[in-house]
A and B are shown apart, each in its own frame.
Chain A
């Protein structure tokens, strides 16, 4: 309900301001091209890096939250927690590490540039590449973390019921953890083409 109020309020405010500017002869202020030209490439790059590490950590945390609650619940049936029960936790950690690696690689492309040399073709490309590359990696790892978490939660419960199921379920969990690797590869390819800021 609060969301609906917020949505209505922001839409009305935007409409009022937009119509005011339009009727005052300032309608050209709504210029998408000028917005894209004026936003600094550094802003795009840094938002991309933030989305990369942020979404990856959210995915990993979500996975550990799903898995951990199931391990604790399954512990009622099989109180002995062994190393194999905690494999899913390490799987989720890998997802977060992918995000950290990609954020480090992306941020290595950011170097200080004098104010007059920011708006070049190469810098715009680097900014957009890091933005969309970061979003790719972040969302791949977010979904991968959730997938590993749900798999791991099922694995924990199945293992509590029958200890011999462990290896069979592990194979499926490996498949879902590979999904994050796909995002990492594409992020590397997209980021690899971008030159360092101010290099060209």
Chain B
């Protein structure tokens, strides 16, 4: 079977061989992306429920409806904070890509 392929290469070797010299060798999921996701997941799990129990007795004196609204707003704040962080990071990536492109052109 392996005699068909030249020099004892497997199919995986052929597929993994880079076709160009400037291939991307950075890890697929950078650690800061994972830490951001974990942090925001923890915030999403604990902040709204924490806000509920924080406000239900103190600020709203037992009115569960108002503290429920507070908790829902907190969940949305965390969500939009994540979108903002992703948007900022996307902008940074784009500028970086443009900079490296213009450097190559020079």
Contact = CB atoms under 8 A, between A and B. Distances in A.
Contacts of B79: 90-91, 94, 177
B49 A82 contact: no
Contacts of A105: 52, 64-65, 68
Contacts of A47: none
B26 interface: yes
Contacts of A98: 72, 75
The interface size bin for chain B is 20 to 34
Interface string A87-128: 101110110011011101100110000000000000000000
B37 A86 contact: yes
A190 to B, nearest CB: 10
Interface in B65-88: 65, 68-69, 71-72, 75-76, 78-79, 82-83, 85-87
Chain A interface SS verdict (over half): helix
Interface in B39-73: 40-41, 44-45, 48-49, 52, 56, 64-65, 68-69, 71-72
Given A82-B90, A94-B75, A104 B33 contact: no
What bracket does the count of chain A residues touching chain B fall in? 20 to 34
B22 interface: no
A195 to B, nearest CB: 12
A65 interface: no
Contact of B44 (A93, A104, A109, A184): A93
B90 to A, nearest CB: 5
B13 interface: no
A90 B41 contact: yes
Contact of A80 (B28, B40, B82, B86): B28
B14 interface: no
Contact of B36 (A83, A101, A166): A83
Interface of A: 75, 79-84, 86-87, 89-91, 93-94, 97-98, 100-102, 104-105, 108-109, 166-167, 170, 177, 181, 184, 188, 191-192
